[in-house]
Amino acid sequence: MNEERNDEGGTSRSWLERLAQVFGGEPKDRAALLEILRDAEQRGLIDMDALSMIEGILQVSEMQVRDIMIPRPQMVVIERTARLEEILPVVIESGHSRFPVIGEDRDEVVGILLAKDLLRYRCREERAFDMRDVMRPPVFIPESKRLNVLLKDFRAGRNHLAIVVDEFGGVAGMVTIEDVLEQIVGEIADEHDIDEELGIRRRPDGHFVVKALTPVEEFNAYFHARLQREGVDTIGGIVAQEFGHVPQRGETIRIDGFLFRVLRADNRRIHLLEVMRMDAPPGREAQAGPDGGTGP
């Protein structure tokens, strides 16, 4: 922690030491430290956001990469032999900025592709695309690496993505600097995120972004639909039931006149869906009804 100079030219105690003095002495362990910080929040000395971030920082020092990594089956990858016209739809569909480049299979990660490096080929169409010209060397890290050490390495090496390997050297997954920072500051919103108070959001293209935890009744009321499955309460539950498994990002399925595409999911459940009505006339996929929903 940073220290301050006092008027006599000596070094004053850190803010944490001064805070601890107010509450009866320095903490003996991490649990005692957290008690001091929570007491400080209750007294209004620090706000809830600051407390949450401090708790996140302390938690990061105890977590390992395996706790937050994106598993190998869920990695969005680019094949080394892929042509530019094959790569662009993957980049657009996923919305990611960095992609592992693989050789024969997902266990052979040969590089990292940055979406921004493809711009030169769209602006200069006469330039022949060669993956070797744009592919950057991958960074490999073990599953057991501590997140606080990884964050320091990301900053020092100016990397934003690392490939996670298991004890046998096989690819176990990947992790990004955003994944680490979210453990401290909470989830970082992207273009697919919607307000916590809003389970359904209409996009300019007429499609909808729907939280998987949206109750089926709310979905039906919004879309004037009649989706219903016995024993299922959420729209994500219906989609998962129809798939017969927990789908990965990008998988699509048609259910009762709707096309559902998975925008975000982990190995346990669906988080976010894109929804399009398949029974609407061309150009009128999602006309808003009087209550904000869609007309029939």
- Which has the higher per-residue pLDDT, 94 or 285? 94
Calculate the dihedral angle through the C-alpha atoms of 217, 220, 226, 232, rounding to the nearest 10 degrees. -40
Residues 6+ apart with CB under 8 A from 99: 76, 77, 78, 90, 91, 112, 113, 115
For the cut 80, the answer to whether the pLDDT of residue 56 exceeds it is no
- Which has the higher per-residue pLDDT, 50 or 276? 276
Residue 101's pLDDT is what? 95
For the cut 80, the answer to whether the pLDDT of residue 20 exceeds it is no
Residue 196's pLDDT is what? 47
Residue 22's pLDDT is what? 55
Residue 179's pLDDT is what? 85
- Which has the higher per-residue pLDDT, 294 or 241? 241
Residue 10's pLDDT is what? 41
CATH architecture of the region 200-277: 2-Layer Sandwich (3.30)
Mean pLDDT of the chain: 78
What mean pLDDT do residues 236-249 have?
A: 88
Q: What is the pLDDT of residues 151-184, one digit of tens each?
A: 999 989 888 999 999 988 899 999 999 888 877 7
Residue 293's pLDDT is what? 39
Instruction: Average the pLDDT over each of 20-29, 51-60, 74-83, 135-144 and give the range with the smallest value.
Output: 20-29
CB contact at 8 A, 241 and 229: yes
The pLDDT confidence band at residue 23, using thresholds 50, 70 and 90, is low
Instruction: Average the pLDDT over each of 25-34, 53-62, 287-296 and give the range with the smallest value.
Output: 287-296
What mean pLDDT do residues 264-271 have?
A: 76
Residue 295's pLDDT is what? 37
For the cut 50, the answer to whether the pLDDT of residue 283 exceeds it is no
Q: Where are the domains of the chain?
A: 15-63, 66-185, 200-277
Q: What is the pLDDT of residues 126-145, one digit of tens each?
A: 568 889 889 999 999 999 99
Residue 26's pLDDT is what? 64
This prediction has a pTM of 0.56
For the cut 70, the answer to whether the pLDDT of residue 74 exceeds it is yes
Domains 66-185 and 200-277 share a fold: no
Q: Which fold has domain 66-185?
A: CBS-domain (3.10.580)
Residue 188's pLDDT is what? 52
